[in-house]
């Protein structure tokens, strides 16, 4: 079943010049980029994106990180895109992510864990609507 998902390459990806290498992985997997743009996320938008974490102890650190530099946001489509992308990303903590995943190959800490992607169809719709 074809579905759309939202992906954000975080400021650490942009700073480390990994944009092309990470996008290439999604394209190599057969996923199609429908929309893409680079921007610096305003604090208010970052807080909306991560509102589910508002009461968690890491919320402020996450917001400060995600607004610290430019990000690349994308809408990607493909067969079971949400689960495929989540598997390609690897575990949230890059030190626990398997080699061969994006976080396992390029990541080394949190919240600098390279990317964010929708975890469900509802999240994908909400996140896509926030940015596109």
State the catalytic residue, choosing from 8, 18, 116, 118: 116
The phi, psi pair for 73, rounded to 5°, reads -110, 145
Whether 116 is catalytic is yes
Residues 118, 83: Cα–Cα separation, whole Å: 9
Pairing of strands 2-9, 115-117: antiparallel
Six token digits for residue 108:
């080394």
* Strands annotated E in 12-126: 32-40, 70-79, 115-117
117: left (phi over 0), alpha (psi -120 to 50) or beta: beta
Pairing outcome for strands 2-9 and 32-40: unpaired
Annotated catalytic sites, by residue?
116
């Amino acid at each position: 079943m074809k579905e759309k998902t939202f992906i954000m390459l975080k400021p650490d990806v942009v700073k480390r010049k990994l944009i092309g290498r990470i996008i290439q992985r999604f394209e190599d997997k057969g996923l199609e980029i429908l929309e893409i743009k680079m921007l610096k996320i305003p604090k208010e938008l970052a807080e909306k994106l991560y509102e589910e974490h508002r009461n968690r102890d890491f919320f402020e650190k996450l917001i400060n990180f995600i607004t610290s530099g430019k990000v690349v946001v994308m809408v990607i489509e493909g067969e079971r895109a949400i689960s495929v992308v989540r598997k390609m990303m690897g575990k949230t903590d890059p030190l626990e992510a398997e080699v061969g995943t994006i976080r396992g190959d390029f990541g080394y800490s949190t919240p600098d864990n390279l990317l964010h992607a929708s975890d469900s169809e509802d999240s994908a719709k909400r996140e896509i609507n926030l940015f596109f």
